[in-house]
Structure 1
Amino acid sequence: MNWLFLIAFIGILGALAAAGIFMLKRPQAKHDASKHMARALAVRVGLSIALFLFILLAWKMGWIQPRPLGR
């Protein structure tokens, strides 16, 4: 189960990095860069929502259990 969370988190960070790269593109390709940046940010938001919903589903199904913090 942990590897699934790790892969989703890496995908979220990858989409965020891609959006940053598209944001820093040269001005002559600004229109294409802004379209790609918006798409990368939409993918990041979609992955984040999907990961959150999957965590809720896994908790509800009993696949993961919360642990007490601290002691």
Structure 2
Amino acid sequence: MKWIVGLAFFGIIVALASAGRALLGDGRDGKPKSNRMLHALALRIGLSVALFVFILVAYKLGWIEPTGLPLFR
């Protein structure tokens, strides 16, 4: 379970870095602008939503449980 969440977070960070690189590099040196940033950000949003849904489903199926730690003392 931890590996899946970790891989999802890594994918989100990679997609965000790819979007930043596309933002800084597109349209320079006479090259036409591309849709790389749009696709990278859409991928990041998709991964974030998929991770959220996966955590909800895992909770409902009993794969993960709350720790029972008190919020306030």
TM-score, shorter chain, exceeding 0.5: yes
Letter in 1 for 2:62: G
Taking only aligned residues, the RMSD between alpha carbons, in angstroms, comes to 1.6
Identify unmatched segments of 5+ residues in structure 2. Answer: none
* 1:3 aligned residue: 3
* 2:63 aligned residue: 63
Change (3 A) 1:69 1:11: farther
Q: Percent identity?
A: 48
Q: TM-score, normalised by structure 1?
A: 0.88
Distance of 1:60 and 1:30 partners within structure 2: 47
Shift of 1:29: 2.9
Distance of 1:41 and 1:29 partners within structure 2: 21
Pick from 12, 28, 31: which aligns with 1:29? 31
Higher helix share: 1
Q: TM-score, normalised by structure 2?
A: 0.85
Shift of 1:62: 0.4
Shift of 1:54: 0.1
Distance of 2:56 and 2:32 partners within structure 1: 39
Q: Compare CA radii of gyration and give the structure with the larger one.
A: 2
The 10-residue stretch of structure 1 (5-14 or 19-28) with the greater mean CA deviation from structure 2: 19-28
Letter in 2 for 1:54: F
